[in-house]
Structure 1
Amino acid sequence: MENERQVVVSPMPLQGHFTSIQQALNSFPDDGQAYQILIKPGVYYERVNVTRDNVHLIGYGQENTIITASCYNQQIQHDGSIPGTYGSRTVCIDAKQCSVSQLTIRNDFKFLENQARPERLRIRHTQSVALLIGNHADCVHCEQVQLESYHDTLFINGGRSYFHRCRISGAIDFIFGAGQAVFTHCDIVARNRTDVKGDHVYGYVTAPSSPKHQPLGFVFLQCKLLKEAGVPQGSYALGRPWHPTSQFYDGQYADPDAIGHCAFVDCLMQDHIFGWDKMSGKGKEGDVVWFYPHESRFEEFNNFIINANQQIENKRILTYSLSDEQHKNLIERVKQCLSPWFQSSYQF
């Protein structure tokens, strides 16, 4: 990229290099200039906060450059605070015009080990985010990035983001939030679990909480929905409607205006996908209330079932199918979302 300053991070202390990604970020002056951080091959055990606009993290391949940390919702911090889901992330991007490419971001919280404990000894709130697109983020571009966790892998809560040729792995609500995001040619991988008994649901690919006035939530175009070995047929939902508990003038309860939007278009899916599901929330009186797929904005168009060899077997029977005209309108909304800021040609 032209007119960008460039710094290098490497695991070994070399002259002129930083040994920490956060250290490199903290060195940037507030001069409005764009900065590239070249991250040499290695495993970086740190939590990274990007709060400065125009920062671009560039690794040396998903298998070579890895950023990892172990953190979860109820993990007590040194000051006694509890981070919650929003704070339980390995990398946070809370800035504008940023990008990440050619690396892996992992949350190493031991989800399966925790679930194997006796119930009375388990950590209950296992949300463990790999990448957070924060409340103040906008125009974030992720290219060839691998995101790994089990519960709440990718939290998209602000602005607009674009994911191309990424691989996102998780189990429970592993792509979720209120932001707008377009995914093209990505692999969305459902993880195997050893704690699920009988025919219970293993997990949910998405949990959008898009505000009802927002035209887009999550749109998946020409993506593959794959599964790890051992994941049974019909064990994962495409998504469920998340109504976050929020504070209102008359109390704290599930946000009634979070009418989530999610669309899968021209996607290939293995047999672990069964459709959409419901989700509970807290009512005004403190009781449990349920929100159903038909009350949300869930959409599908021209999706196919593939076998273990990723060969097409048949066309998927769509639950909330778009007409040709609705599909055309959706693609136009996607272009309107991306065109003001995304400079490259669309990958769909």
Structure 2
Amino acid sequence: MKSLKSILALSFLFLTATSSLVCSDGLELKDFKEDVVKTVVVSPNGAANFKTIQEAIDYIPSGNQDWIKIILSPGIYNEKIVIPKEKQKIIMQGNNASEVILQYNDAGLSSSSGPIIVNAEYFAAINITFKNANFSKSTPIIPKKEVNVAPSIILMADKAWFYGCNFISVQDTLADYRGRHYFKNCYIEGAIDFIWGMGQSIYQNCVIYVRGRTSKRGRMLRGFITAQGRESEQDTSGFVFNNCVIIGNGMASLGRAYRGYSRVVFYKTNMSNVIVPQGWDAWGQKGHEDKITFAEVKCTGEGANKEKRVKWEKNLTDKEIDFLIHPKTFIDEDGWMGSLPSSLVSLL
């Protein structure tokens, strides 16, 4: 397998750069009014304010109303972190995602395994790798017996934002469990349901890497990129992938229906041949496919050939697509993104 750094370098040749002063959804510098009031530094060798990330989280007062930045020095942080709901407005930032690795060897539970659980609103992370180390010694093609539920992050709250982060595991990698979230220029790796949950999220300019896995007899097994859990027509949740890239060394469906009204849309995404021809799986919702919203719009690449796609894939109107792909309408209708610090505007 190519190194993570080389994969990212190749993949982002497909992606579109964003202006440093005007965001892709129309937000401008004047829209951002709050700023960071305090910064602390964490280093695993102890040459900082704190030695562990959890110590820095514990330091933040409950009911915090001001943005606090936690700078992570280069290193591997082997710890299990919980951010309680009363500790809002936290920014965790590294200088380079390949040098700042937050990991933990913990598998088996989709709601609590892994290195970090975010229960607080207004959480931001920049240039950090979140990794479930349970598979750190696996070969590029993973034997079926080694696959287990192993999140790299669990998002349990509304209003989270990620830039330049890596999420690495095999099954249930990114637990986009609940709330509105925005991911930009991120890398997400896994094999089974590795972007899953009931979240309402936009993935902008992200790289999705499908890991290969084999049966006991060595046969390549199909994986699933998404498992989204929208539960009704009134449920506003869904996963939207805008201008992303899908690559890998395995094969996978774009998604399977985790709940009855599952909603996943890929827009202007470049898909390699890792995507299986049928594209999607109704899973436990067979016979009720009319309630599922799985769609691909203006996608490119060998894997985007729709000739053999499932017949029940949705054809969305231009108005529906326009609503879903823009943060202002899909995830920022109340303007929460405008409360992010102005110092982050160039990254949006």
- Please give the alpha-carbon distance, in whole angstroms, between the structure 1 residues aligned to 2:117 and 2:71: 18
Q: Is the partner of 1:272 in helix, strand or coil?
A: coil
Task: Tell me which residue corresponds to 2:294.
Answer: 298
Aligned partner of 2:52 among 6, 17, 20: 20
- CA–CA separation in structure 2 for the residues paired with 1:41 and 1:299: 40
TM-score by length of 2: 0.77
Task: Kindly indicate whether residue 251 of structure 2 is the aligned counterpart of residue 241 of structure 1.
Answer: no
In the TM superposition, residue 338 of structure 1 has moved relative to its aligned partner by 2.1
Give the C-alpha shift of residue 116 in structure 1. Answer: 4.6
Contact 1:265 1:301 in 2 (8 A): yes
Identity fraction in percent? 24
**CA–CA distance in structure 1, aligned partners of residues 197 and 346 of structure 2:** 24
| Offset at residue 49 of structure 1 (A) | 1.3
| C-alpha deviation, 1:198, in angstroms | 7.2
Aligned to 2:267: 265
What's the Cα RMSD here?
Answer: 2.9
Match for residue 50 of structure 1 among 83, 98, 122: 83
**Aligned equivalents of 2:328 and 2:230: distance in 1?**
15
SS at 1:161's partner residue?
strand
Which structure 1 residue ranges, 5 or more long, are not aligned?
Answer: 74-83, 244-257, 281-288, 308-313
Please give the alpha-carbon distance, in whole angstroms, between the structure 2 residues aligned to 1:196 and 1:190: 19
Offset at residue 181 of structure 1 (A): 0.8
Give the secondary-structure state (helix, strand or coil) at the position aligned to 1:150: coil
Q: Is the 8 A contact 2:198 2:237 kept in 1?
A: no
Measure, in 1, the Cα distance between the counterparts of 2:289 and 2:227.
11
Structure 1 CA distance for aligned equivalents of residues 155 and 325 of structure 2? 23
- The answer to whether residue 201 in structure 2 is matched with residue 207 in structure 1 is no
Q: Which of 60, 63, 66 is the aligned partner of 1:33?
A: 66
1:218 to 219, 235, 239: 239
1:9 is matched with which residue: 39, 42, 53? 42
SS at match of 1:193: strand
TM alignment of 1:265-344, pairs within 5 A: 265-274=267-276, 275-280=279-284, 290=286, 293-306=289-302, 316-317=306-307, 319-331=313-325, 335-339=329-333, 340-343=335-338
CA, structure 1 residues 294+201, in 2 after alignment: closer, same or farther (shift >3 Å)?
farther
1:182/1:334 contact within 8 Å kept: no
What CA distance in whole angstroms lies between the structure 2 residues aligned with 1:3 and 1:326? 36
Aligned residues: 297
Q: Distance in 1 between matches of 2:38 and 2:273?
A: 47
Offset of residue 144 of structure 1: 0.3
1:105 aligned partner: 130
> 1:336 Cα shift?
4.1
User: Could you list the per-position Cα deviations for residues 180-234 of structure 1 after superposition, in whole angstroms to 9, with x for gaps in the alignment?
Assistant: 1100000011012244757664200000012212233100000111113xx3xxx
Cross-structure match for 1:132: 154
Closer, same or farther: CA 291–262 of 1 in aligned 2, 3 Å: farther
| Separation of aligned partners in 2, 1:96 and 1:149 | 24
Residue 315 of structure 1: CA displacement?
Answer: 5.9
Aligned-partner SS, 1:175: strand
- Flag the structure with higher helix content: 2
Contact 2:164 2:184 (C-alpha < 8 Å) held by counterparts: yes
Q: Distance in 2 between matches of 1:62 and 1:178?
A: 26
- SS of residue matched to 1:26: helix
SS at match of 2:57: helix
Counterpart of 1:164 in structure 2 is 184
Unmatched runs of 5 consecutive residues or more in structure 2: 1-33, 339-343
